Amino acid sequence: VQLVESGGGLVQPGGSLRLSCAASGFTFSSYVMSWYRQAPGKERELVASITSAGGSTNYATSMKGRFTISRDNAKNTVYLLMNSLKPEDTAVYYCRAQGIATIPAFRGMDYWGKGTLVTVSS
């Protein structure tokens, strides 16, 4: 099982980035996918999540309207488009896969990527 994040980097305030998370080794379409972030000295927090078929999304309040999560089940990839970035968005961004609870074979399965660093600074 692998979750590999990419797309992080240095961006100026007000700029945009698109993160990608490429999944392999599991049935991607049967997993809820989420993005989390952890800033220096802070706890890891949920950024956004998307249901297995992509029909429903959920965002943390501070990201709503600026960030968009999406997925392509044909490519086993989940994305996070981040607009209007602020210095306080600086963090390591992690991808998480959680098996859908309605299918016993996937219930409780939980995988994390290693993260990609996003730095928002002028």
pLDDT in tens, 7-59: 999 999 999 999 999 999 999 999 999 999 999 999 999 999 999 998 899 99
| pLDDT (average), residues 92-116 | 93
**What does the alpha-carbon distance between residue 33 and residue 121 come to, in Å, rounded to a whole number?**
28
pLDDT at 70 over 90: yes
The beta strands (E) that lie in the chain are given as 2-6, 9-11, 17-24, 31-38, 45-50, 57-59, 67-72, 77-82, 91-99, 110-112, 116-120
